[in-house]
Amino acid sequence: MKRKVLLIITSFVFLILTFAPIQLFSQEYKWFKGNTHTHTINSDGDSPPRVVVRWYRDHGYNFLMITDHNFVTEIKYIDTDKNDDFILIYGEEVTDSYKKTPVHLNCFGTGVYVSPQKGNSVIETLQRNIDAIRKAGGVPQINHPNWHWAFNDNEMKVLKNCKLFEIFNPGCNYFGGLDTPSMEKVWDSILTAGVVMYGMAVDDMHKLATDTGKGWVMVKAKELTTEAILNALENGQFYASNGVTIDEWNVTPEKYEIKIKGKSDWKYVTRFIGEGGKLLKKDGSLNPVYRFNGTEKYVRAVVMDSNGNFAWLQPYFIKK
């Protein structure tokens, strides 16, 4: 009996020592709202860059990436006010294909143009573009895998050096169809394979009147700078949303805790998801908590409100 108790205590201590806590409750950090997929008349959008930027700034966003197709829109002459709690971050949608399959990735953080790299398969095309974005000093994001049913977990889980993908892009088949998995199932397959990827929600704005305010990310960072935002994104210190607001979110060696900003008379349910997409717990409160038991490979959470809006919170792997 003593040996069993000692083994349990030892295992718990090992879990504490190897699980990296995410200190998102810290007062040093602030929430910043942003959209990472936006088009202007410099590609196939319907509005000039200044008009697009004005909409996002006026609607409470803190940062924006303009990601025109195979074109780097110059931002230094647009974002001239350094004290307005809003920044622009360089972007480009590297727009490639393999045969008839669209292969699109966003490049963030560099004003360097990255040309489509081509490849002899979907996987090679994805990887070559990821490598080119990294070489240019940018951060890659895989765009809308289910758009035109382009690719899914089979291609994505073998990729290297890319942590961001679009879990939600309006009109891009989030729920899947027939034998094509939903984006959440794709995500869980990738995570179960041990590959760390973080889910983004975006507008993919082409028409200013109808495509704005559909999906965004809320980033927890110390300051509103390009470096701080991109670093937070690559470390999973953000959640994706199309309507649900999270007040606070904290992961410690013991628990995964969320505080939801509830609306009057709305209901919320949080699903904590683990390996293989297994439902670990359902919680209907505004302060859902999942306590780790040491058997999990990873835990992520998704919050849904009674009007069909979501917040997707990032996965955290427990080292054993």
pLDDT tens per residue, range 79-136: 888 778 999 999 999 999 999 999 999 999 999 999 999 999 999 999 999 999 999 9
Residues 45 and 52 sit within 8 Å (Cβ to Cβ):
yes
Pair 109, 199 in one domain: yes
CATH number for 280: 2.60.40
User: Binning pLDDT at 50, 70 and 90, where does residue 11 land?
Assistant: very low
Which residues span the domain enclosing 269? 248-320
Q: Is residue 17, in this structure, part of any structural domain at all?
A: no
CA torsion through residues 118, 119, 123, 124, sign: negative
Measured CA to CA in angstroms, residue 304 lies from 4, 98, 202, 273, 274 at distances of 40, 36, 17, 13, 17
pLDDT of 27:
67
Confidence check: pLDDT of 311 > 70: yes
Cα separation, 256 vs 77, in Å, equals: 43
Residues 66 and 203 sit within 8 Å (Cβ to Cβ):
no
Confidence check: pLDDT of 270 > 70: yes
Q: What percent of the chain has pLDDT over 90?
A: 88
Measured CA to CA in angstroms, residue 125 lies from 13, 112, 145, 257 at distances of 44, 20, 13, 38
Measured CA to CA in angstroms, residue 310 lies from 109, 111, 246, 303 at distances of 27, 33, 10, 5
Residue in the block written with tokens 């070489």: 135
Pair 133, 228 in one domain: yes
Pair 58, 174 in one domain: yes
Measured CA to CA in angstroms, residue 198 lies from 36, 168, 186, 190, 241 at distances of 14, 12, 12, 10, 13
Task: Look up residue 150 and give its two tokens.
Answer: 């382009």
CATH number for 224: 3.20.20.140
Measured CA to CA in angstroms, residue 104 lies from 71, 80, 188, 189, 254 at distances of 13, 30, 21, 21, 39
Average pLDDT over residues 277-301: 98
Pair 188, 302 in one domain: no
Burial 225-254 (b: 16+ CB within 10 A, else e): ebebbbebbbbbbbbbbbbbbbeebbbeee
User: Binning pLDDT at 50, 70 and 90, where does residue 22 land?
Assistant: low
User: Binning pLDDT at 50, 70 and 90, where does residue 319 land?
Assistant: confident
User: What global pTM score does this model have?
Assistant: 0.91
pLDDT of 7:
38
Pair 277, 219 in one domain: no
Instruction: Indicate the number of domains in the chain.
Output: 2
Mean per-residue pLDDT over the chain, rounded:
93
Which run of H or E residues covers position 71?
none
Pair 232, 252 in one domain: no
